[in-house]
Amino acid sequence: MASPNALFATLRPGDAPPWLAALLGSARRSSPNGDYFEWDDKQLWLAANGDVANGDVAKAVCTASFPPDIAIEGLHIGMPIAAARGALPELHSPGAVNANLLHGWMPAGRPWGLLLEELEGKIRSISMLVRGALDRRLEEVVRERSDAARIWDAPPAADRWTMIDDPDALLEVWLGSQTTRAPWSNTPAGIYAAYAAWLKAATPDQWHSAARFHNWSYSLGPLFFISRHPACELATALHILYAADLRWVARFGFNPAAVPTHSHATLRLITGICDRIRRDCYARSLAFDPARDFGRNAPRIDLGPGFPAQLEGREPRPVPFDDGYPIAVWEAVGVVYTH
């Protein structure tokens, strides 16, 4: 008898092969949405509206840990999406959900289709769904993509500061927005106001330290201010660009309709920096070496000749930081440091 995974690869929604009931066994799990079945450390699971063993398979999902040597309709986990398009020319891409690109395949005359989840250009999961469920899922993706485009053009009030080009005006609006609440309950009151005052008085070298030691769990307002200031260094802008996970946004083609809405501020930060680099808006006196600062995590994306791999120049004068804020800011809100 073939391995369970090889058998499951032949299963299609609506099927009731004789081997299926024998394999269900203790694989049944329960959830608020009904029962489902799970095998081999979540490599594959089945969902049903009723009795899976009698052919009521509504959805079968091969996850990222499913064996890559087992093919489903000529596709396998880890397969490049470009190769998948060659195997299934009808494959189309309605958009992105939960940071992963989705691709749908609905062959004519069949009661089921495929939904592929893409991560970094390769198939991450393969879902087989009955046609009605697949149609609804693809419609949801298209609707979410339309909503994302609308929100990009008219962001919520709390995020409208991201659309302001003037750095001082941006900082003032950011400071008054609801996104500037203290990040943790034990953070001293006034931390953002103190940091905004520090940023306005800081030098480009100090801004570089602020970019290097920014805590990405906090608001992006300081990075917007720095990157949009006419005195900002190219090395500082590049550091922000690399730290913002450029590869992840590039997966969506920098398209706000495809990028999840919770990442729109990051996308606006990245595209703003890219635009300013192309227009040669940044000073060039500081050194930048992504291998030193980011190691193997440095994104390898060719954005054109205006985006140097590294910069020769002087090293900035360092500024002491703690948890994303300058020591001077912590002291301004009453935190005592012993030097």
For residue 324 the two structure tokens come to 């994303």
Q: What is the pLDDT of residue 251?
A: 74
Residue 57 is classified by DSSP as E
213 φ/ψ sector (left φ>0, alpha ψ -120 to 50, else beta): alpha
Are 230 and 179 contacting, i.e. CB atoms less than 8 angstroms apart? no
For residue 172 the two structure tokens come to 């003032």
- What is the residue-level pLDDT of the chain in tens, covering all 339 positions? 567 677 777 777 766 677 766 666 655 555 555 555 565 555 666 665 544 444 456 677 777 777 888 888 889 999 998 899 888 888 877 665 555 677 888 777 777 888 888 877 888 888 888 777 788 877 887 787 788 888 888 888 888 999 999 999 999 999 988 555 555 556 777 888 999 999 999 999 999 999 999 999 888 999 999 999 999 999 999 999 989 877 777 777 788 877 888 889 999 999 999 999 999 999 999 999 988 888 876 766 667 767 777 889 999 998 999 999 999 999 998 888 776
Residue 246, phi then psi, degrees to nearest 5: -60, -35
DSSP secondary structure string for all residues of 167-189: HHHHHHHHHHSGGGS-SSTTSPT
For residue 166 the two structure tokens come to 């003037």
pTM > 0.85: no
Residue 129 is classified by DSSP as E
Give, rounded to a whole angstrom, the gap between the first and last alpha carbons of the chain. 72
* Residue ranges covered by each domain of the chain: 4-152, 155-332
Burial of 314 (0-12, 13-18, 19+ CB in 10 A): exposed
Residue 269 is classified by DSSP as H
Q: What is the pLDDT of residue 79?
A: 93
Contact partners, residue 181, CB within 8 Å, separation at least 6 = none
Residue 68 is classified by DSSP as T
Q: What is the pLDDT of residue 55?
A: 46
Sign of CA dihedral 46, 51, 55, 56: negative
Q: Output the CA torsion 329→332→337→339 (10° steps).
A: 80
- H, E, C per residue of 84-95: HHHHCCCCEEEE
Residue 41, CA distances (Å) to 2, 52, 90, 175, 242 in order: 19, 20, 32, 47, 35
Q: What is the pLDDT of residue 255?
A: 82
Residue 300, phi then psi, degrees to nearest 5: -105, 80
Are 75 and 88 contacting, i.e. CB atoms less than 8 angstroms apart? yes
Are 132 and 141 contacting, i.e. CB atoms less than 8 angstroms apart? no
